[in-house]
A = this chain, B = another copy of it.
Amino acid sequence: AVKRIGIIGTGIMGTDHARLLTEAVSGAVVAGVFDLDTERAAGAAASSGGARVFADPYELISDGGIDAVLIASSDATHEAFVLACIEAGKPVLCEKPLAPTVEGCARILEAETAHGSRLVTVGFMRRYDPGYTDLKTLLKDGAVGAPLMLHNVHRNPAAVPGLPDAAVITNSAVHELDVTRWLFDEEIVEVTVHRPRATAQGGGTQDPQFLILRTASGVLSDVEIFVNARYGYEVRCELVAEAGTVTLDAPPPTSVRRGGLHARELPGDWRPRFAEAYRLELQDWIDGTGGGATAWDGFAATFVAQACVAALESGERHSVDLPPVPALYR
């Protein structure tokens, strides 16, 4: 049976998801959309083969013609919509962050626990990227032995000038917080944030930042997060282990020799880089095979991000004291 999906928020991400669900995913149709900008919603509905445009997101969530909900609206709205989905007993895929505050995430954990089964998936799409899954497979298969370090680089060409320092962590580095937890299957227990010389291109933002994350078993995961790197979008990492290392750099299939250079193109932003990850994430969500990030993962990402923000401000090491994992997520 084809799943009828409702999408809340039809900005860049929501529109991309609508397109993928319509054109590239098996077993799904976009049945409803909502956006504060009704024209934008109408456009997304039209290109999704005639989805219904809802005037109220809560109506969409509770409508009998909607089997599951995808939330791609602004961060501040995530909590309320996710809670409404749980209330309605419907599966929900929520773009990261699950909620901007630890408290908001905690309320979702409570609601889902009260509901008694998992309904929430958080859109940490890198868990579906073929490069990251390849890396994790190699690690799990023991190809390079026990892990010791992970070096991460995460660069965007440009951010809003004067972006708050904390947002560099909560918006961008949060992906590496999740990657670190997911790859090693353990929690981050301590964080330090170093301040390199800041680029003059950032309008005053502390950019780049250099995070040092320690996992429960002692693995050190360092993250260069640089949101005004100018030259292009790039996400890379190297796993360092006892018998070797694995590098994820995801080169494109072609290279060009021209004008004195032998070059491969870099993507301009995250969408071409993670296009396949988004498709696989959506297909997996539709299949209901449950491979994505849970509400607990969303909570932990926000929790660790807050610790990193505190560490950035203090310049000190901060321990990360996550509460015990609720039974539903073990």
**A residues engaging B (CB < 8 A)?**
2, 22-26, 28, 129-131, 134-135, 138, 143-144, 146-149, 151, 153, 192, 194-201, 208, 210, 212, 217-220, 222, 224, 226, 229-232, 234, 238, 240, 242-266, 268, 276, 283, 287, 315, 317
Give 19 pairs: A residue, B residue, CB < 8 Å, sorted on A: A23-B283, A23-B287, A26-B28, A146-B199, A148-B226, A194-B220, A195-B220, A196-B219, A197-B218, A208-B240, A230-B243, A230-B244, A231-B259, A234-B257, A249-B254, A260-B268, A262-B265, A276-B276, A315-B317
Nearest Cβ distance between residue A141 and chain B, in whole angstroms?
11
- Other-chain contact of A258, B135, B143, B249, B317 (Cβ < 8 Å): B143
Nearest Cβ distance between residue A159 and chain B, in whole angstroms?
14
Are B283's CB and A257's CB within 8 A? no
Is the contact region of chain A dominated by helix, strand, or loop, or is it mixed? mixed
Are A196's CB and B220's CB within 8 A? yes
Nearest Cβ distance between residue A181 and chain B, in whole angstroms?
16
Residue numbers in B under 8 Å from A224 (CB-CB): 149, 151, 240
Residue numbers in B under 8 Å from A247 (CB-CB): 254-257
Are A261's CB and B261's CB within 8 A? yes
- Count of identical protomers in the assembly: 4
Residue numbers in B under 8 Å from A264 (CB-CB): 261-263
Residue numbers in B under 8 Å from A148 (CB-CB): 196-199, 208, 226
A201-B242, A263-B263, A266-B260 known; A134 vs B26 contact (CB < 8 Å)? no
Nearest Cβ distance between residue A56 and chain B, in whole angstroms?
28
Closest chain B residue to A217, Cβ basis? B197
Residue numbers in B under 8 Å from A147 (CB-CB): 197
Are B242's CB and A200's CB within 8 A? yes
Residue numbers in B under 8 Å from A246 (CB-CB): 254-257
Please measure, in the bound complex, the distance between the C-alpha atom of A245 and the C-alpha atom of B208, giving whole angstroms: 13
Are B244's CB and A257's CB within 8 A? yes
Please measure, in the bound complex, the distance between the C-alpha atom of A246 and the C-alpha atom of B199, giving whole angstroms: 16
Please measure, in the bound complex, the distance between the C-alpha atom of A44 and the C-alpha atom of B163, giving whole angstroms: 54
Are A210's CB and B220's CB within 8 A? yes
Closest chain B residue to A215, Cβ basis? B197
Closest chain B residue to A219, Cβ basis? B197
Are A151's CB and B151's CB within 8 A? yes
